[in-house]
Amino acid sequence: MEVTVTKENFESLKNGDKPFVIDFWATWCGPCRMVGPILSKLAAKYEGQVVLGKCDVEDNEDLAIEFGIRNIPTILFYKNGQLFDKIVGAQSEAKLDEMFQKLL
């Protein structure tokens, strides 16, 4: 499942019953445009097992500041409401798939 993340729904998504992956991105970011389709593909592959959240740093500057996001894409992986891992920068599909698998 893929959802848009905002300040209002972040906590409920993070503390949900499924692992949560949040992608901090922006429309003008080239590496973000490369990673976005890969994450969407993985969200479909892990449908029902992992929730993918997309957080546009331009629209949600408060969340980006709260998490100290300085470079995008930054991808945070949550399991049981706790930060499990973090990746900064564009990654291969194989690496991202490996990270999704670690959440299960």
2-4 vs 74-79, strand pairing mode: unpaired
Whether 32 is catalytic: yes
Out of 13, 21, 29, 72, the active site residue is 29
Q: How far is CA 91 from CA 12, 15, 58, 97, in A?
A: 27, 26, 22, 10
Beta-bridge mates of residue 25: 56
Whether 55 is catalytic: no
Out of 5, 21, 22, 32, the active site residue is 32
Catalytic residues: 29, 32
